[in-house]
Amino acid sequence: MSASLNLDTVLQRVAEAAHQLCASDMSRIALRVLGSEAMRFQHGVGFRARGWDTTLPR
């Protein structure tokens, strides 16, 4: 068995696990935009409405 240390893979797996654990319609992970205080949704599972990956200003 091999485990990935690739950040995108790990965060996608975390989003999937949270989605299953909480039995939610969706889960999303937002990361801070470098050099900014804004957050950007980059990983998610489940329902995705238009703009789900929008950058959120602070």
pLDDT at 1: 41
pLDDT tens for 2-17 read: 567 888 899 999 999 9
Domain around 28: 7-47
Q: Is residue 2 part of a domain?
A: no
Report DSSP letters for 16-44, one per residue: HHHHHHHT-SEEEEEEEPTTSS-EEEEEE
pTM score:
0.69
Q: Is residue 55 part of a domain?
A: no
Q: Is residue 58 part of a domain?
A: no
